[in-house]
Chains A and B, each alone.
Chain A
Amino acid sequence: AQSVTQLGSHVSVSEGALVLLRCNYSSSVPPYLFWYVQYPNQGLQLLLKYTSAATLVKGINGFEAEFKKSETSFHLTKPSAHMSDAAEYFCAVSENSGNTPLVFGKGTRLSVIA
Chain B
Amino acid sequence: GAGVSQSPSNKVTEKGKDVELRCDPISGHTALYWYRQSLGQGLEFLIYFQGNSAPDKSGLPSDRFSAERTGGSVSTLTIQRTQQEDSAVYLCASSPTRINSPLHFGNGTRLTVT
Interface residues in chain A, defined as those with a beta carbon under 8 Å from any beta carbon in chain B: 6, 9, 32, 34, 36, 42-46, 49, 51, 90, 92, 94, 96, 98, 101-107
- Docked Cα-Cα span, A32 to B99, in Å, equals 8
With a cutoff of 8 Å between Cβ atoms, the chain A residues found around residue B107 in the complex are: 42-43
Interface size bucket, B side? 20 to 34
Taking a contact as CB atoms under 8 Å apart, the answer to whether B35 and A43 are in contact is: no
With a cutoff of 8 Å between Cβ atoms, the chain B residues found around residue A43 in the complex are: 91, 105-108
With a cutoff of 8 Å between Cβ atoms, the chain A residues found around residue B58 in the complex are: 101
Interface residues in chain B, defined as those with a beta carbon under 8 Å from any beta carbon in chain A: 33, 35, 40-45, 48, 56, 58-59, 91, 93, 98-100, 102-103, 105-108
Taking a contact as CB atoms under 8 Å apart, the answer to whether B108 and A105 are in contact is: no
- Docked Cα-Cα span, A42 to B99, in Å, equals 25
Taking a contact as CB atoms under 8 Å apart, the answer to whether B56 and A101 are in contact is: yes
Q: How far is the CB of A100 from chain B (nearest CB, A)?
A: 8
Instruction: List, sorted by A's number, 10 A–B pairs whose CB atoms are closer than 8 Å.
Output: A9-B40, A32-B99, A44-B43, A44-B103, A92-B43, A98-B98, A101-B59, A103-B45, A104-B42, A105-B42
- Docked Cα-Cα span, A90 to B44, in Å, equals 12
Residue in B closest to A33 when the chains form the complex, CB atoms: B100
- Docked Cα-Cα span, A85 to B34, in Å, equals 26
Taking a contact as CB atoms under 8 Å apart, the answer to whether A46 and B42 are in contact is: no
